[in-house]
Amino acid sequence: MEASKYPSLQHETKVKSWIIGISIVIPLVVAILIFMPAKITSLGDWVYFLPHLNAVVNTAASAALILGLIFVKNKKYSYHGATMTVAFVLGALFLVSYVVYHGAAESTKFGGEGMIRSVYYFLLITHIVLAAVALFPILFAYYYGYTDQRDKHRKVVKFAYPIWLYVSISGVIVYLMISPYYTH
């Protein structure tokens, strides 16, 4: 008898609990690191390179997300899965780098004035809000895709994909706008 490709109800319940937990804990940890009064200065000056690395990683993740869409539209499902896994891994790498940076460095203040300041803060605020909620649908979309639960995957991706792509691209734009104001 062939084993089912779908996870058992007990396994799926456990995975869903983990996804929900991770989706709550990570934004809380990021918020704590950003707003904590004393930074972890023992890491050294190398952390000031991380925003630049993060922009490269986010650009690559954006490219992988766009390629993933192209592949799925052309029914190249194995390529779609591979590029979405690349985007997922890049997102995880970005998150670790982001947490390290914000745990060690003070946030940079945007120095632009006039209309560009409004544009910057609109992008920044929408980026932050959507990034805080993005992990939840992204993890479910990835899990359903990985376990070949295509109907569930399609339903979640309708929300997860545009949020993920917006967060990824807006992160690069926010970086480009604030990078002239980095002091290190």
Q: What is the pLDDT of residues 34-49, one digit of tens each?
A: 777 777 877 888 999 9
Q: What is the pLDDT of residues 12-71, one digit of tens each?
A: 889 889 999 998 998 888 888 877 777 787 788 899 999 999 999 999 999 999 999 999
Element (H or E) spanning 9, and its range? helix 9-35
Q: What is the DSSP string of 17-66?
A: HHHHHHHHHHHHHHHHHHH-SS--GGG-GGGGGHHHHHHHHHHHHHHHHH
106 three-state secondary structure: coil
pLDDT confidence of 3, banded at 50, 70, 90? very low
29-181: CATH architecture: Up-down Bundle (1.20)
Q: What is the pLDDT of residues 118-153, one digit of tens each?
A: 999 999 999 999 998 999 999 999 999 999 999 999
Paired tokens of 158: 């309708």
